Amino acid sequence: MVWILLTHGQKSKKNMTMNTNNFTIKMQEVLEKAFNIAQAEGNQAVETGHLLKGLLTEEQSISRYILQKHNVAENALLQIVDSVIKSYAKVSGGSLYLSSDLNALLNNAQQAATKNGDQFVSVEHIWLAFFSINDQITKLLQDQGLSRKSVENCIKEIKIRCEPQRASCNWQTRPCYWPR
């Protein structure tokens, strides 16, 4: 069982834990990437920018499909996200923790999964949850032409394409992400 210690904001010392076993394996990998990116950049708080960079650097991902459908240049977006990450406060020493925005995003993704009757939080829930908070990364995505509704439409399109193959369609495999 994997647990993450979440801290609600820097001013509050109220802690809680989130069981990442409720996340798909792909989402666990993305979250681990976000932590590694934050650590490599010297950021103590793991922010939504770290998570987005983790999503953008996944090889076979719904993220690429969403960006392609919105005509977003992946490399250009990645450069902008890198500049946002560079703007985060650098701290040496101390433990990594989730920022209040990332904590809210993950909680909203969990609620979206539950509402949809899904057992696990997946990448698609994370993409939708980006639009449930109002931070720098959400504004960046909106500036690129993405919205909750347009991302929902991409996800619906993917599900429709996967429906005929439901028995063999694994959300982690390429055929479900790319139109034929």
Q: How many of the other CB atoms lie within 10 Å of CB of 49?
A: 29
Backbone angles phi, psi at 136, to 5 degrees: -60, -40
Distance CA 99, CA 68 (A): 29
Is pTM beyond 0.85 here?
A: no
Query: In this predicted structure, what is the pLDDT of residue 7?
Result: 42
Query: In this predicted structure, what is the pLDDT of residue 82?
Result: 97
Distance CA 144, CA 77 (A): 8
pLDDT tens per residue across all 180 residues of the chain: 344 544 433 333 334 456 788 899 999 999 999 999 999 999 999 999 999 999 999 887 889 999 999 999 999 999 999 999 999 999 888 899 999 999 999 999 999 999 988 999 999 999 999 999 999 999 999 999 999 999 999 988 887 766 544 444 444 444 444 333
Q: Which CATH number fits domain 3-147: 3.40.50.970, 1.10.1780.10, 1.10.10.60, 3.40.710.10?
A: 1.10.1780.10
* Widest CA span in the chain: 51
Query: In this predicted structure, what is the pLDDT of residue 161?
Result: 65
Using CA atoms, how far residue 149 sits from 41, 91, 128, 171, in Å, is: 33, 37, 9, 21
Q: What residue spans define the domains of the chain?
A: 3-147
Distance CA 86, CA 135 (A): 16
Distance CA 9, CA 7 (A): 6
Q: Are 23 and 121 in contact (CB under 8 A)?
A: yes
Distance CA 121, CA 51 (A): 14
In the 3-class helix/strand/coil scheme, how is 146-174 assigned residue by residue? Answer: CCHHHHHHHHHHHHHHHHHHCCCCCCCCH
Query: In this predicted structure, what is the pLDDT of residue 98?
Result: 94
Distance CA 159, CA 89 (A): 39
